[in-house]
Amino acid sequence: MRATRNAPCWCGSGRKLKRCHLDPAALRRPPIELGKVTPLRDVPSHIVRPHYVEGGTVWPPPTPQILAGAALDRMRHASRVAAEVLATTVAAAAPGVSTDDLDALAHDTYVRLGAYPSTLGYHGYPKSICTSVNEVLCHGIPDRRELRDGDIVNIDVTAFVDGMHGDTSATVGVGTIGAETAALVDTTREATLAGIAALRAGEPIQLAARAITAVADTKGYGVVSEYGGHGIGEVFHADPHVHHTITSRDRAVAEPGLCITVEPMLRSGAARFTTAEDGWTEILDDGMPTAQFEHTVVVTDDGAEILTLLVDGSSAVAGPSPTTNG
Ligand code: MF3
Ligand code: CO
Ligand code: CO
């Protein structure tokens, strides 16, 4: 159900939405409409494809990816390529640019860097990135819909190169976004980095979930429990499942060399979502925005190192977005 100003806030505070988690710009916006999806893009034959693209058996098995030496060097490279593709694509997000335009730019950038876009042909997914706009939680398929001033969009990039996958995403504002939406984006970035900073070899991976939840709680935002991070390396989605919410069922312990993603989704509205007719796009029922950031990391003796950084060590999307009130 769509959110309304006078209904009780989803967060359980007992106050009306307009006195609690009100995002006026989001409330004014019509529900997201999915646009036309363009034909599949080609990848030149010299670019090596992951095994699942050619069909056949699933290989290698999705066991935890513990990397060292030359394998970790290849993982660093794939992760850096993903970060470069993300930085290039994020820089092009602007009013009037379609998410399909972003897909085309990302696609050409992967290819130029010698990488295969891991999502293209993954369980039938048709594009080279995911673009999740406003109330789209994740797995939005790039289409002809043009971005509008005030939208937010998560761009999720996964690059396969030298036999390794690197996976990273960021949410950015399009043009000028409302202050409430910007607070959600900035808190989500902060929660992601806090989750990564909480990881330690020999300690439960749940420490990341605790740190993420603590940051979300400072603003009363919800953390999506249905999606989490994952092991990553030669396999796109490997064990362990990285929960971002607190659960007693998660017994996984970090160890040196373990490569995983941390990729929490935060929401300023209610938790319910529905899969669109395309079978991929997950859309929050109340129409309130959701943000996500993602890094691929390797666990070290005294913490976790972010691998999806640019060559100068910076992040694709470091800072807050320009905002307007109302
Ligand atoms: N990159 C996403 C993740 O973070 C997965 C996208 S899979 C797709 O795990 F098929 F939806 F593209
Ligand atoms: Co991921
Ligand atoms: Co991703």
Q: Which domains does the chain have, with CATH numbers?
A: 63-306 (3.90.230.10)
Structure confidence at residue 111 (pLDDT)? 98
Q: How confident is the model at residue 162 (pLDDT cuts 50, 70, 90)?
A: very high
Whole-model pTM over 0.75:
yes
Structure confidence at residue 241 (pLDDT)? 98
Q: Which atom of ligand 1 is nearest to the CA of 139?
A: 11
- Residue with CA nearest ligand 1 atom 12: 119
Q: How confident is the model at residue 318 (pLDDT cuts 50, 70, 90)?
A: low
Structure confidence at residue 40 (pLDDT)? 98
Cα dihedral value 276, 280, 285, 286, nearest 10: -120
What is the percent of the chain with per-residue pLDDT over 70, rounded to a whole number? 97
Q: How confident is the model at residue 58 (pLDDT cuts 50, 70, 90)?
A: confident
* pLDDT per position as a tens digit, 127-150: 999 999 999 999 999 999 999 999
Structure confidence at residue 27 (pLDDT)? 94
Q: Which atom of ligand 1 is nearest to the CA of 122?
A: 10
Structure confidence at residue 326 (pLDDT)? 46
What is the percent of the chain with per-residue pLDDT over 90, rounded to a whole number? 92
Is the confidence at residue 292, as pLDDT, over 90?
Answer: yes
**Ligand 1: residues whose CB is within 6 Å?**
119, 122-123, 125, 130, 139, 156, 158, 167, 263, 280, 294
Is the confidence at residue 98, as pLDDT, over 50?
Answer: yes
Structure confidence at residue 276 (pLDDT)? 98
State which residues have CB under 5 angstroms from ligand 2, the bound ion: 167, 261
* Spatial CA neighbour of 150 closest among 109, 196, 94, 107: 94
Structure confidence at residue 56 (pLDDT)? 65
Q: Over range 260-277, report the average pLDDT.
A: 97
Pocket test for ligand 1, best of 89, 167, 244 (most atoms within 8 A of CB): 167
